[in-house]
Structure 1
Amino acid sequence: MAPLIALVGGTALLWLLGLAGVEALDWQTSLRGGLALMFLLTGVVHFLPSWRRDFAAMVPPALPFPYLLVTVTGVLELAGAAALLFPPTAPFAAAGLALLLLAMFPANVSAARRGVPLRGAPATPLPWRTFEQAVFVAAAVLAAL
């Protein structure tokens, strides 16, 4: 839920600042800022010990080196967040992050089906995970345009 709040809240705040007269903040720049906030949040938690263990448990058992995969996805999320804030690279970063989200979705499905908890909370139900992922991918695609 926190990533969705970061995306929507960050985008809305930046968009409202744009409406208030900050010239550089059109809807797409605001969306890119909201995405950057979301991926900064999700990228950082990949490296916090308790989150890291939970993320590694989410990796489907058929994939090798779950901690390495958590590290790689965390680095990609952080790099993508930074690249979203630099106009020449923003469209490429958004497209790359959309692809990353699609690539990570099977891990979300696997975690939901296996009932993998996150920070002690019950596994997020698959319909809600699917909805969130669709929102994130759609936002990244729109930010890439």
Structure 2
Amino acid sequence: MTVIVLVLATLGFRLLGKLSGSARFATWRASAGHGLAVMLVMTASAHFVPPGVSFMPNHADLLAMVPPFVPFPAAVVYLTGVLELAGAVGLVLPGTRRAAGACLALLFVLLLPANVYAALADVPFAGGTATPLWQRVPEQILYIGVALWAAGILRRPAGRTATASPAAR
């Protein structure tokens, strides 16, 4: 679901940029940053939803994902929700986009053990089945890449252009 939100929000912002001529969404990079921000607001909200709300992930679902070696798991769930919200705000503000992208990439790396644990321990999510490891790890890698790319940290190597090289022509 989160990948779908990321993709649809990114496409929506890019389309908005094309149709309106808005400089804010004039590039795929900026649109992806805003798309990731939308996704983060959605995922962060689950950190604060009380148990018993069955139509969406909630605090209890996320608490079950925390590996046993992590101290103060409830506090960690709340903290990661706050960090996701802060990262979302940082991505939409041009002055903080680079720092937010770097910090979010680090957060996604730090959240990877919880995703691995949840998959291996078969922790159900939002009343459904556990998300398999083969899906969780590539999703985290995608989020890391989008955060770094939207922040302008991942760029095309210098000297490369979008046109084909002379050898390829």
TM-score normalised to structure 1 length? 0.95
Structure 1 counterpart of 2:30, one-letter code: T
Q: Which runs of 5+ in 2 are unaligned?
A: 52-57, 153-169
User: Over the residues paired in the alignment, what is the CA RMSD in angstroms?
Assistant: 1.0
For residues 143 and 85 of structure 1, the distance between their equivalents in structure 2, rounded to whole angstroms, comes to: 10
- Percent sequence identity is 46
Deviation digits for residues 49-93 of structure 1, max 9, x if unmatched? 121011111000111111000011000001111111111001110
For residues 41 and 98 of structure 2, the distance between their equivalents in structure 1, rounded to whole angstroms, comes to: 17
Q: Report how far residue 144 of structure 1 moved.
A: 1.6
For residues 69 and 14 of structure 1, the distance between their equivalents in structure 2, rounded to whole angstroms, comes to: 32
For residues 130 and 9 of structure 1, the distance between their equivalents in structure 2, rounded to whole angstroms, comes to: 21
Paired residue for 2:90? 83
For residues 112 and 29 of structure 1, the distance between their equivalents in structure 2, rounded to whole angstroms, comes to: 32
Greater fraction helix: 1
**Alignment pair present for 1:24 and 2:31:** no
Paired residue for 1:9? 8
| Aligned pair partner of 2:126 in 97, 106, 119 | 119
For residues 132 and 8 of structure 2, the distance between their equivalents in structure 1, rounded to whole angstroms, comes to: 23
Q: Which runs of 4+ in 1 moved over 3 A?
A: none
Q: Report how far residue 43 of structure 1 moved.
A: 0.8
For residues 119 and 17 of structure 1, the distance between their equivalents in structure 2, rounded to whole angstroms, comes to: 32
Q: Report how far residue 23 of structure 1 moved.
A: 2.5
For residues 119 and 22 of structure 1, the distance between their equivalents in structure 2, rounded to whole angstroms, comes to: 37
- Which structure has more relative contact order (CA 8 Å, sep 6+)? It is 1
Structure 2 counterpart of 1:86, one-letter code: L
Paired residue for 2:102? 95
Larger Rg: 2
For residues 71 and 124 of structure 2, the distance between their equivalents in structure 1, rounded to whole angstroms, comes to: 20
TM-score normalised to structure 2 length? 0.82
For residues 148 and 34 of structure 2, the distance between their equivalents in structure 1, rounded to whole angstroms, comes to: 14
Structure 1 counterpart of 2:50, one-letter code: P
For residues 130 and 11 of structure 1, the distance between their equivalents in structure 2, rounded to whole angstroms, comes to: 21
Structure 2 counterpart of 1:99, one-letter code: L
Aligned length: 144
| Aligned pair partner of 2:60 in 53, 56, 76 | 53
